[in-house]
Structure 1
């Protein structure tokens, strides 16, 4: 008679690892968190080299992921920038050009007030992710139309806690605000002011959403659209006390940035606490360059500020972390755009990129991982009214309304101090023609602003330039 020997093996798996393996086995799609700042300066983060600002949580995120050194927004002001980000396409192609949705109705042309918002036939990032089975939520600033049909819950988001407008107090309103669109709203039509400091409150609300979906093992997309560090200049005394060597608005923006970093830390810590940080994509970026004249933010060494087509208006801090997919503590140096986030997220969620119709963004992963050595974009365009700009390769052309266009070679001149138009006449002419040819393909603006705002922004371009080495 044959005898059989049975050998038993015992494998020890730490409880935390078992929990993460269980999550991974039941939820293969990564969670997605988009941390979106408002009006922050290009230089105002530790990971960008600041010695004044305190941003330890964002600095840690940078060390754990990829820092993009040439990340661009689709427009240098809040509303159009968000429209490009959330649709994955150049908002100029559907007429979302003329700055933000105006609050004054009598001065608007092209369409009436009820039509001012992200066109309802445009498909959003949240729409696409919902089709992939994601729970979706947005917290904070919307600024893509105040009418009910533009509401976040009608644009692909399951949950919303924030305000429909563009700027509001960081503290609770005790009286009816001058602009009703800036009241805090939970879901659709349920107006409910927060308690405490708004930047912290948005992180806490997002964490409730994260906890709920982690428990049910539902993949989620949380768009945390902070209004920090946009005006009004509201800061807490305890945060101001951390910057004894700063004064005035610079001190306040530093305190507001510290609160933004603290809120980011709350979200990142929650992911780790729940054991889902290894299966979560986290992106941090900003909607446009800092408006130095309004909130004392700094875009140095770049020239220009918010609302200009100089690098300081268009280039933004940008971090992406995806454990196991992206190398930690690395940099990516080729130009990207915020309209790349939609296809990047959609592909990560298991979507087929062929299903994305009529977009301008690309999936960034093959480029960052070196599978594709070409730049994600050979050309990028921006415009507003008579002003426009074009980046082609390493060259940038800026067309002004009150002077000849200028040409810059960015690798040697990221401060845009040396106009090479006279030295490169053939390139100058060719790029000028390409810029106009692109404009000829666009929709007309859906609304127009008072010309005084355009004049103000043209003047801004002359005021914020770093000094040349010889000066």
Structure 2
């Protein structure tokens, strides 16, 4: 009887261990301000991204992936919570930084509300070891710190932008000091993009025997344009910021390669979900990124501001070398990761994202989203099926049918007045579910976005020579 009891205990223990080992590890590689077109897997013949191109061949390339906001901070808030950030008042812009002239809370007091549950919280609740590396941008006060928002380990900076080489003196923006875990401030050695890749690989090494979630949030290729001279030498045909952004993209791809190689080395690649994406459209006016063939740039609601590159690889479950054409959102990451990790679907509450895995395995052939929404102040967008309405503050609304016009050059609003009214109503109904913004921008910044939209409305033409 005693021997039978021991045998049962061993069987139960081995079954639990097997189940734990079968749970996928999760790695999220996240770029900052990258251009939609600036990757080999997106068709660029200029950029050098061999590691991400290899990842694309191992997984799924999404042709219509969207962020929930065309600027850094709100986009991240949506990803972390899995729901439209406007629902908890994170609508207007980044928390604090160069645009932190606000009408409500100020400075460090702005941040992701504490009552919001993050993807880190969800994954920790089902036994994952969680690590966050790089740019946080969700509040500088201690109570907003990643280690208090669901992440066991942190290496990065709390703010929105910093130099890529070590500071000799404390930076003017204290949030941009490099920090390990909580309150351990010390500058790195070398080029920050490489350092973040190395730190993430070490996290994977430390936790190779348990399920882990590594969120690698690069500040590349956000300004300042601190390119590595050796990387710039790889692009003798380019000049100015175009040369620098190419070099910074190469460095980011190299850092991604360090992480991907570590997974291979440890035998973890087959059962690891790896996602690569970007926080918003490329700001061509700042870093010379290309969003071809999309019109618009960062901070605008044209496709070039909100549509992003997106890869997902899970070799043991998802067929390699495929493409997915239906619209998806970065809001989908939280429910997808939680479900893949074995979490009960009912435990993810009050989110706007969906679990993408059934759509990628052929269990569900429908559209993950019939409608997607975007909003900042008066400007707002609804995409219903393949129709997209953009509401402006300074001109009549515009309507586009995206399957025939992804560059948004043929405004159909005058020809489709009934559809315009219908989409206006959908947008208004959604807006009635939102909270008022917790902070507001000065009006001059809204004017800057209008000017940017006008100047870069047809930026699709600016990079066409590279594609010929």
TM-score w.r.t. the length of structure 2 is 0.93
Aligned partners of 2:451 and 2:424: how far apart in 1? 22
Residue in structure 2 matched with residue 397 of structure 1 by the alignment: 389
Report SS of the residue matched to 1:412. coil
Residue of structure 2 aligned with 1:208, choices 190, 202, 207: 202
TM-aligned CA distance change 1:125 to 1:107, over 3 Å: same
1:306 aligns with 2:290: no
Aligned partners of 1:107 and 1:67: how far apart in 2? 39
The number of residues matched between the two structures is 446
Report SS of the residue matched to 2:204. helix
Residue of structure 2 aligned with 1:290, choices 282, 292, 306: 282
Aligned partners of 1:368 and 1:277: how far apart in 2? 18
Residue in structure 1 matched with residue 88 of structure 2 by the alignment: 94
Cα shift at 1:233: 0.2
Q: Residues 355-408 of structure 1, C-alpha deviation per residue, up to 9 Å, x if partnerless?
A: 111000000011122211111000000011110111000000001111000000
1:354 aligns with 2:354: no
| 8 Å contact from structure 2 (residues 77, 138) kept in 1 | yes
Aligned partners of 1:112 and 1:287: how far apart in 2? 24
Q: Which runs of 4+ in 1 moved over 2 A?
A: 23-26, 102-107, 110-115, 466-469
Aligned partners of 1:421 and 1:199: how far apart in 2? 44
Aligned partners of 1:296 and 1:226: how far apart in 2? 18
User: Where in structure 1 are there 5+ consecutive unaligned residues?
Assistant: 1-22
Larger Rg computed on CA atoms: 1
Aligned partners of 1:420 and 1:450: how far apart in 2? 32
Q: Residues 216-266 of structure 1, C-alpha deviation per residue, up to 9 Å, x if partnerless?
A: x11000000000000000111110000000000000000000000000000
Report SS of the residue matched to 1:34. strand
Aligned partners of 2:246 and 2:97: how far apart in 1? 29
Q: Residues 334-369 of structure 1, C-alpha deviation per residue, up to 9 Å, x if partnerless?
A: 000001000000001100111111000000011122
Residue in structure 2 matched with residue 406 of structure 1 by the alignment: 398
Aligned partners of 1:26 and 1:91: how far apart in 2? 33
Residue in structure 1 matched with residue 448 of structure 2 by the alignment: 456
Report SS of the residue matched to 2:449. helix
TM-aligned CA distance change 1:98 to 1:112, over 3 Å: same
Report SS of the residue matched to 2:133. strand
Residue in structure 2 matched with residue 17 of structure 1 by the alignment: none
Report SS of the residue matched to 1:129. helix
Report SS of the residue matched to 2:403. helix
Residue of structure 1 aligned with 2:320, choices 301, 318, 328: 328
Aligned partners of 1:103 and 1:120: how far apart in 2? 20
Residue in structure 1 matched with residue 218 of structure 2 by the alignment: 226
Report SS of the residue matched to 1:35. strand
Aligned partners of 2:358 and 2:97: how far apart in 1? 42
Residue of structure 1 aligned with 2:62, choices 64, 68, 87: 68
1:241 aligns with 2:242: no
1:40 aligns with 2:34: yes
Aligned partners of 1:128 and 1:337: how far apart in 2? 19
Cα shift at 1:26: 5.6
Aligned partners of 1:65 and 1:53: how far apart in 2? 20
TM-aligned CA distance change 1:24 to 1:320, over 3 Å: farther
Aligned partners of 2:29 and 2:18: how far apart in 1? 23
